[in-house]
Structure 1
Amino acid sequence: MTAEFTRAQFVFSVDGTTLNISAIRREGDKVPILFLHGFGSTKEDYADIVRHAEFAGHPFVAYDAPGCGETHCADLTKISIPFLVDTALTVLDHVGFERFHLVGHSMGGLTALMLAHRYPKRVISFVDIEGNIAPEDCFLSRQIVDYPRDGAQRFFQDFIERTRLAPAHASALYAASLWHKVRAEAVGGIFRSMVDLSDNGDLMTKFLGLPFPRMFMYGEQNASLSYLDHIREGGVELAEIPHCGHFPMYSNPVLMWRAIASFHQRAACPPGYTESHREKGAV
């Protein structure tokens, strides 16, 4: 079989902590794409990009965040959203992506937002797939506050059971692999950081202030999010994915990829730019 993407390992330190990052990537001559997965997911959420012809020629990288998947982190207690932002920046240096499309889901969407806010000139466009931008987005992470338990293992076991029974698309499917995809000792730091930023990090202002095309993608089961009209009025494109909750890559991946591809085409060739500009990667 001919490999359509390659596996890669990146070894480096963040905040004095050694990481061995497990990634998948592809080379290409078009605009690069950085993918950041959500809590409880892995880089393979995005592997099917190679199944969609609209993305042919686009280099990409997706990797398992510290505490997740096949990535090894020497100190799980160090992991937080700022730690994950620094990890993403170091991965970008390793693969040589100076400017790129940014796609992040949930925890990865929040990480992407903080990265884009810090380095807006590097980002061409941002697809935020239900990443945190308001306190109400902490329906998973706030459980670290609402359902405290003694010990990381016990909290995570209970979290998995609540998730398995949640009345939402793909929740049981998602819950089935959580124990295998996340180290329990990483959960508390990630969740507390997400809650703190969602409550106190002025995320909405950061998101609406980004100076490049943005799409907010959400499942139709979450169409009641209170801020959707507000961000649309602020220039954010909305993409509602039908028959879907928080996980479009599990419930309706075809429409998810179609929406991302269409958005990238518009973002890469804005008004005033010709086809020749796009072919040269100009933005």
Structure 2
Amino acid sequence: MPGLTKLEPFTLPLDIDGVHVEIAGMYRAGSGTPLVFLHGFGSTKEDYADVIQQDALAGRPVLAYDAPGCGASICPDLNAISVHFLVQVAKEVLAAKNIDRFHLVGHSMGGLTALLLADQDPARVLSFADIEGNVAPEDCFLSRQIISHSHPDPEDFFKDFQDRVWKSRFYSSSLYAASLPHKVRPGAVRPIFESMVELSDHGGLMDRFLALPFPRMYMYGVQNNTLSYLPLLAEKGVELAEISRSGHFPMYSNATEMWDRLTAFFLGSEQS
């Protein structure tokens, strides 16, 4: 197949704020501006593995990795994980792979992590595609369950959370829920969710997103086209990408359209 090249797995030991982690990632060397992907809560780097199927992106450097507490990455202190912790991880992984300037993509939790990363050092980011990442309190429809359905036992909360998501009417929710036990450690759920809620409620995320000085895309599934802030994003020059036949997980329910929009956005950003 034209343009098909391998993603190579890697393991990277890091010390983040006194916590030792082992990051499991996938990487492709190449030429041009690198593509950096951050996955959402309960997902893994493999959400983005089909980047190698995109002929228009052939030869580009690619980086994706499992966040601590997720996938094959190892973190012995799950309580240490927060969005700010994940931003520090991202900085260290980028440094280890000698990536300076890059296109940035983040989904959900990864979108929030990417937003804070871009906000701290915008000169390094060529474009940012935010796939339903948190920018407002209303985005905590999953993470706020740590409050609305609080449970003292992490295992029991996680099982109940999976059951609620599995029963959802939204695209790919059952698929997502079935994979959760294999993709995230129960002990990581509370610190991650509490951090996401705190930032969404009090972190000024919308102002940060709108202030970013490079091309921005906000991607969302058609089932979420009632998000109250979409008109504001469009008014402020953010490209909106509504993905048909999709909810919160376009990489599961309509990956073809997702990749078409991402690819066009990358290429267009380099011409602007």
Shorter-chain TM-score bucket reads over 0.9
1:128 partnered with 2:111: no
Task: Give 2:270's aligned residue.
Answer: 268
After superposition, give the CA deviation of every residue in 1:176-203 in whole Å (9 maximum; x if it has no partner): 0101110000000000000000000000
After superposition, give the CA deviation of every residue in 1:24-65 in whole Å (9 maximum; x if it has no partner): 110011110110000000000000000110111110110000
After superposition, give the CA deviation of every residue in 1:110-164 in whole Å (9 maximum; x if it has no partner): 0000000001000000000000000000000000000001211111010000000
Amino acid at match of 2:263: A
Task: Give 1:29's aligned residue.
Answer: 31
Of all paired residues, the percent bearing the same amino acid is: 54
1:91-240 alignment runs, 5 A limit: 91-240=93-242
- The separation in 2 between residues aligned to 1:136 and 1:86, in whole angstroms, is 26
Amino acid at match of 1:12: L
- The separation in 2 between residues aligned to 1:55 and 1:45, in whole angstroms, is 16
SS in structure 2 of the partner of residue 149 of structure 1? coil
Runs of 4+ in 1 over 2 A off after TM superposition: none
| RMSD between aligned residues | 0.8
**1:244 to partner: Cα distance:** 0.2
**1:3 to partner: Cα distance:** 6.3
- The separation in 2 between residues aligned to 1:12 and 1:240, in whole angstroms, is 37
After superposition, give the CA deviation of every residue in 1:81-132 in whole Å (9 maximum; x if it has no partner): 0000000000000111100000000000000000000010000000000000
Task: Give 2:20's aligned residue.
Answer: 18
One of 230, 251, 255 as aligned partner of 1:253: 255
Residue segments in structure 1 that go unaligned for 5+ positions in a row: 271-283
SS in structure 2 of the partner of residue 124 of structure 1? strand
SS in structure 1 of the partner of residue 165 of structure 2? helix
Residue segments in structure 2 that go unaligned for 5+ positions in a row: none
Structure 2 CA distance for partners of 1:154 and 1:240, relative to 1, 3 Å: same
SS in structure 2 of the partner of residue 73 of structure 1? coil
Amino acid at match of 1:176: A
- The separation in 1 between residues aligned to 2:259 and 2:96, in whole angstroms, is 26
1:81 partnered with 2:89: no
SS in structure 1 of the partner of residue 15 of structure 2? strand
The number of residues matched between the two structures is 269
Amino acid at match of 2:132: E
After superposition, give the CA deviation of every residue in 1:218-256 in whole Å (9 maximum; x if it has no partner): 000000000000011111000000000000000000010
Amino acid at match of 2:68: P
- TM score, norm. by length of structure 1: 0.94
- TM score, norm. by length of structure 2: 0.98
SS in structure 2 of the partner of residue 266 of structure 1? helix
